[in-house]
Structure 1
Amino acid sequence: MNKRTFLKNLAVTGLASSTSLKALSETIEAYEHIHPKDLAIDEDFWLKIRAGYKLKPDYINLENGYYCFIPTETLENYISHIREINYQASWYFRTVQWENKDKVAARLAATFGGSPDEVAITRNATESLDIIISGFPWKKGDEAIFAHQDYGSIKNMFELTSRRHGTVNKIVDIPLHPKTDEEIVKIYEDAITPNTKLIMVSHMINITGQILPVKKICDMAHGYGVDVMLDGAHCIAHFDFRIDELNCDYYACSLHKWLSVPLGAGLLYVKKDKINKIWPLLAPYELDHANIKNLNHIGTHPVATDLAVNDALDYFEKIGAERKEERLRYLQRYWTDKVRDLPGIHVNTPADPSRSCGIANVGISGMDPSEMAKLLLDKYKIYTVGINYAGVVGCRITPNVYTTPRELDIFVSSLKEMAKSAGAS
């Protein structure tokens, strides 16, 4: 779809051509000649990007993984959408809301993979995954495979499914520091039996940032006739890939994370030949759609968020997928390389750069992660989150493009002090 035509056809486009977005475009153009790997370490450029965020001065925010709050351009457009929809009221809902939502979903598909008939806008990754788990045609004795390291509420959904349908859940463990892709693929393969119907795999493990070899897992599972659902909550607009090249059957993502969409938007991809296999979680307004619309009707909802997806895509495309990925990789390696081999500090994310991007997890020997997170905030004014389950003991560290090396230097210094104090005690 031609972007100019797309914007022209939207009934509410807010400030997509705002002065701030124009300024961002001019900044990008001035640095266009620099390769993304070289630009990743150009602090003059990233300070200009940082200026587009309103940052809370109370602490250094290293917990962007829960919610990547939105830059000024997207925020102002979002507010404009809310005002305009409030002005248009029922007229908007009864005329163009679905057409506009379809166009935004089609743009998501064009950007991240899949056809418009395979991609839907949901409210978050949890909803997307639950739609598949709850709607899967389970029979008593069917087996599902997932990992201890997967997201808690989704594991609970499999448990509820087991209680309801009599299915069996087989739970595997993913090593923190795998040596090869084949080591991980074999873990899932060894759990497969003739009763296995669905495997859930985290594209990126949310508590450590480890990227799994999901295409190899999908290829292997399909050889046994098993469907694969990928939890990509942290992946879209974090590192570059296309969903339809992963050979998965189902894919889920939260767009309020690395795409920086306002809260209330997620993505669900269902391979075209699998759509009719899944029973809708909520009844659609019209029954028996031939496409993914059969699966994600939620009634009247905050449509301004749907429109803001378009603004977030504008911003993301201006920054550039490769530029953003290289910056996030650089920031993660900037601090992990400084502490990975220090006594008393253990990094719970693989050293191999192909197995991670912007997220990493670090712990201090003898220190509970909740205590570690509290000390980081109280003493060092660094906000993060403690993780202590599934063999992962440490704090998850998630910088964003606006984070500076100077802030990470403060974090590294705090880790060294805390490790020294913990060792002395």
Structure 2
Amino acid sequence: MSQTCKTVTVAGGGLSGSEAAWQLARRGVKVRLYEMRPNKMTPAHETGLLGELVCSNSLGGEKTTTTAGILKAELSRMGSLIMECAERSRVPAGNALAVDREGFAAMIDEKISNHPNIELVREELTELPEEPAIIATGPLTSAAMAEKLASLTGEEFLYFYDAVAPIVDVSTVDMTKAFKANRYGDEGDYINCPMNEEEYKIFWRELVNAETAPRHDFEVEQMRHFDGCLPVEVIAKRGEQTLLFGPLRPVGFEAANRGETPYAVVQLRQDNSEGTLFNIVGFQTNLKWGEQERVFRLIPALRGAEFVRKGVMHRNLFVCAPRVLDGCLRFNGREALYIAGQASGVEGYLESTATGLAAAVFAYAQLRGEAMPEFPKETAVGSLLNYLRTALPESFQPMNVNLGIFPRLGKKKIRKRTERCEAYARRSLEALGRFIEERAELFPA
């Protein structure tokens, strides 16, 4: 496929779609960007501006002492439109990068609308294009496009709700207060975190009184019909003993737990192929994020745990990436059809931006007839792409950038988290610099 023959279609004018369109346009590629707003609104958006933020005006930590800061540094190094507009519309927020929501979106809208290589089409795209295309329609993808994606991927690999349990970095679990075993066996793959009666009652009391996160009205209505994964706090409110007959049931662990029957057992299940991330089984939750850490750290083995992803329950469309994508954000069997943003299986504003940028680089390489690039796994962008490729399909859920998906630094353990992040950041930016130098034809100055 030569670069001279085709226009690339981008569907969706959120962060990922805007970033993808910009990255292709600055490389000299003609882009047709479809955005259905304001002609057709979503339940969460208020304007027709490209890049409108709907949940928060914060883009997370700014310094490379955080994983969000590592990702920001990489995006800035690769000429991200979203990062440029964020810097120019920032508002005071301590160590976080927060933006003037309206000013930020207006800036993105103006830059995209006035780029000579971008044709902005204010219509809903309802068919999957045959020509090169990036689908970046987001978690609130319209019904028509969702139907096309379901036909392409198979309905069983397209999900419409997040009902997600928290995920912890397994290296931060206190194994002196936990044991590995399967139920009714003395060996196994689960990490089991027992509690005695006093510990459980304290945990239960704090859980049922913890503060929950607000949801949009349309999500509340839809969630009434989604009973398969009730929030753990809802189960707990049905009675003090209810959890002991559900996700915390203690039976079957006597052999592995020194012959004793615990009062309650919280199980952790492996969540990635490397075995660095474990999810808390049955702990789908709608608690506020700070409340999740406070309450779940009452479990003795998790008192010092790092929660690399918090639990969420909200409407969210995404594909089962390890089943339906090829590692370069392309749908299996469709060499010129890419997906980016939250629908690709990442979570978060900047993570969505990163996949938009990566999809544009992949598409550009294909247009030029170049070998597909492989973002280094040592980078935040590369680690996200690797997660989408290697995560366990049976338990796949969208993921934020976190240290648990990076390759480990080595045998020497750095205990202070900020220092550990800085070490990852140094390695990341060095790897990214080498990658850009080696594939200079794909990265304009």
Q: TM-score range by the shorter chain?
A: under 0.3
Higher helix share: 1
TM-score, normalised to structure 1, is 0.24
TM-score, normalised to structure 2, is 0.23
